[in-house]
Structure 1
């Protein structure tokens, strides 16, 4: 593909290609919009979904349909077994590698997802901390969450003040860093390495009633597509307690049903309640993210929203390289 026009920065050299980041709460339509923009721009999509990366979780993670995956190249979807650990550090490394490869093919890169840790890994960066220790995480995962949080309050009160007592993932990571380095994770804050490419950040939001309606409608569709059967196949694998699927909304509640701890209707109600709570946490997190172009998608089609997102990408980030409207990228 021909070279792309750029703006000259303060160094006198053209800026690197910008990367589009589409974020927003679950059920906001990110997947459909990203596919529209990618088709319009000749781009490839990198998933920032901490669960869509796993095999066997197609229905419960609302994975893009096969028709979309055939038409638009997607990355980090369905590539890992449900027992393998994967974290924000690995995502950041994979994301950088994929952007390099996508740009080398002459294409643009779109990152899309709602996993807050993954989004933060590219918008705020990661400190050069220790890699995940699977054995240590397994030991921590076996302890009650309240006990872990109290431990974090003792060894790192600054981190405990910023991490919700219900956020097992971040609590475990904070304790993991403490045990592996002998220093609290808060000591490492401020040493984050920035993302190598300028980001155009676009957030999708909806009116509250519409978001809740979409969540309810999507859950009904998941059940009709066979979510219970998909979850049972995972359950019958005998996954270890620290397997990602065992802590994924839609599966963990059904696992309780399979083990006789609740009825199917109770499990379904819990999935709905937990999904709505997750959407609220996502929104609270993303609203703190600076520099996001927020778009209200209530009552709008993916085609209409995709065109607006594409136009925003055309304008580019401050000091970044602009898309060429004439060539589509």
Structure 2
């Protein structure tokens, strides 16, 4: 078959056109994956940020809900033995132990001071101890010019009105009212504190720490009762020295009265009877104070 040159030329031209047409298609195909990769990377980054934000949020929530740490309880003897062995093998620290002991001593001293302060405030509120102002204005100890102190032996079983009358009279002669014991026993000071306040308040209807109290000393002294063989009350004795000294600091050989007067009568009548028994010198000063008031 005869082949013309023109046909060959046409075939070559068509081939070039096909190649030129295919090139843009390939470039478009190559560009499409690049754009898709950029979009996929952006999505993955956003998803990672979302996961990080969620993890932080969950961490905060879990931290709030975490329980307080507790030591595990164990009954295993081996674990306990290891724990004690570790304590025994600890390195000694003398300086730290000395500081700890000093801190403990300071704490105990501070606690003792605070207890005494509160006890004093309670005694002042109940009228068992004068305030600072009352202590400054208080008279000297109840000792007469000749050294004898009127001591009136009484009991908590006596009527409050009788005890109050005796307190008013004994105040005039700077005397002392003595009890053998306290209501309810020595371990219960509350009833005695209440009784003391009822006896010494000038106004029986007053309540609280600001009530005016009589200047009379009340003592609880079983030894002075035994020394003077007091079997009934009221009774009066003129005791030399200071009968208000704590009985735990005295003995059975401490000074005692020469006479005892028994009977439920006014203080003036008891003083007169004491003088009649031979104690005129002992009661002379107390009688003068009682008449002067």
Structure 1 length normalisation: TM-score? 0.26
Relative contact order, higher structure (CA 8 A, sep 6+)? 1
Structure 2 length normalisation: TM-score? 0.29
Bigger fraction of residues in helix: 2
